[in-house]
C-alpha cells in the first residue's frame, strides 16, 4: 500500500504517518525529516536547506524529486510507503506519477487532512520531539505520560524545530496555500483524493484514516 498524507504545516501528517507505519508496516517518507538530516550531517546542501527552511519557503522541485526518487527505490519501500511532505507542488506530483509508473507502482490513497489555519499556529508552536528517538509531543495536545520523560525511550532531552515559530509559520502557511493546495484538484481530477477532519483529536483522526484504508481494501 502506497499513500500520501496531504495537509498544511501542523495538520498532523507526521503524527499519523508514524501510527500508520507501526500499524501497517509501511515506511514513513518525510521530506522534512530528510532535509533536517542533511542539515545535521553538515553536507554542502545543508546550508541551503537550513536557510530555506528557516525562511519557511520551499526547496527547489528538482532536488526534492531526486531525493524521493532515490528513496523509493530502496528495498525497505517495497512493502509500501507513506509520503509525508511530498509532493508539495504540481510539478512534484507530476514527477511522482512518472516515477511510480516507471516502477509499476500505484497510489492507493491520497488523504487530505483538513485543518483550519487558526489551529495550526498553536499546534506548531507547541510541538517538541525527543532528541534521542524522535518521538513527537505537544505542550497541550500530546504530553508524555511522565512530564519531561519520553514515553518511548525514557530520554529526558527534547528539542524544538527552528522553523516552529509564529513568524515562520505564517510564511509556511502562505506557501501551502499558494504552491501546495493546487495539488488537491490535481488528485481530485484523478479520482483518488479522500479527506479526513484533521480538527478532530489525534485518535479520532487515526480512526478516520483507518476507515478509509479499510473501505478501499474491502
Q: How far is the CB of 172 from ligand AP5 (least distance, A)?
A: 5
Nearest Cα neighbor of 130 from 96, 167, 160, 168 is: 160
Verify binding: residue 109, ligand AP5, rule CB under 6 A: no
CA pair distance 4, 87, nearest whole angstrom: 8
Q: Is 98 a catalytic residue?
A: no
Of 28-36, 93-101, 144-152, 184-192, the segment contacting ligand AP5 by CB under 6 A is 28-36
What distance in Å separates the CA atoms of residue 89 and residue 175, rounded to the nearest whole number?
10
Which residue among 2, 28, 142, 208 contacts ligand AP5 (CB under 6 A)? Answer: 142
Count CB neighbours of 94 within 10 A.
15
* Gap between the Cα atoms of 87 and 70, Å rounded: 14
Assign residue 134 a region (left: φ > 0; alpha: ψ between -120 and 50; beta: otherwise).
left
Query: Whole-angstrom Cα distance, residue 160 to residue 189?
Result: 38
Tell me: does residue 53 bind ligand AP5 (CB under 6 A): yes
Residues 25, 136, 148, 185: which binds ligand AP5 (CB under 6 A)? 136
Ligand-binding site membership of 161 (annotated) = yes
Question: Does residue 135 have an active-site annotation?
Answer: no
The CB-nearest residue to ligand AP5 is: 32
- The one-character DSSP state at 58 is P
CB of residue 103 vs ligand AP5: minimum separation in angstroms? 19
Q: Say whether residue 58 binds ligand AP5 (CB under 6 A).
A: yes
Binding site for Zn(2+), residues?
130, 133, 150, 153
Catalytic center residues: 13, 88, 127, 161, 172
Amino acid at each position: 500500500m502506497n499513500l500520501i498524507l496531504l495537509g498544511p504545516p501542523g495538520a498532523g501528517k507526521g503524527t499519523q504517518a508514524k501510527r500508520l507505519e507501526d500499524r501497517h508496516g509501511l515506511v514513513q517518507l518525510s521530506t522534512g525529516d530528510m532535509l533536517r538530516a542533511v542539515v545535521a550531517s553538515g553536507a554542502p546542501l545543508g546550508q541551503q536547506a537550513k536557510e530555506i527552511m528557516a525562511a519557511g519557503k520551499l526547496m527547489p522541485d528538482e532536488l526534492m524529486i531526486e531525493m524521493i526518487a532515490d528513496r523509493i527505490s530502496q528495498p525497505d519501500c517495497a512493502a509500501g510507503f507513506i509520503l509525508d511532505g511530498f509532493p508539495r507542488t504540481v510539478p512534484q506530483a507530476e514527477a511522482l506519477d512518472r516515477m511510480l509508473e516507471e516502477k509499476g507502482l500505484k497510489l492507493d490513497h491520497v488523504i487530505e487532512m483538513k485543518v483550519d489555519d487558526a489551529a495550526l499556529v498553536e499546534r506548531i508552536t507547541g510541538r517538541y520531539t525527543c532528541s534521542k528517538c524522535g518521538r513527537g509531543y505537544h505542550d497541550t495536545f500530546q504530553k508524555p505520560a511522565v512530564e519531561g520523560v519520553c514515553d518511548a525511550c525514557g530520554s529526558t532531552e527534547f528539542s524544538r524545530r527552528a522553523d516552529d515559530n509564529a513568524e515562520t509559520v505564517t510564511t509556511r502557511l502562505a506557501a501551502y496555500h499558494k504552491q501546495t493546495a493546487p495539488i488537491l484538484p490535481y488528485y481530485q481530477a484523478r479520482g483518488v483524493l479522500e479527506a479526513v477532519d484533521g480538527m478532530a483529536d489525534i485518535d479520532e483522526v487515526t480512526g478516520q484514516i483507518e476507515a478509509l484504508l479499510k473501505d478501499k481494501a474491502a
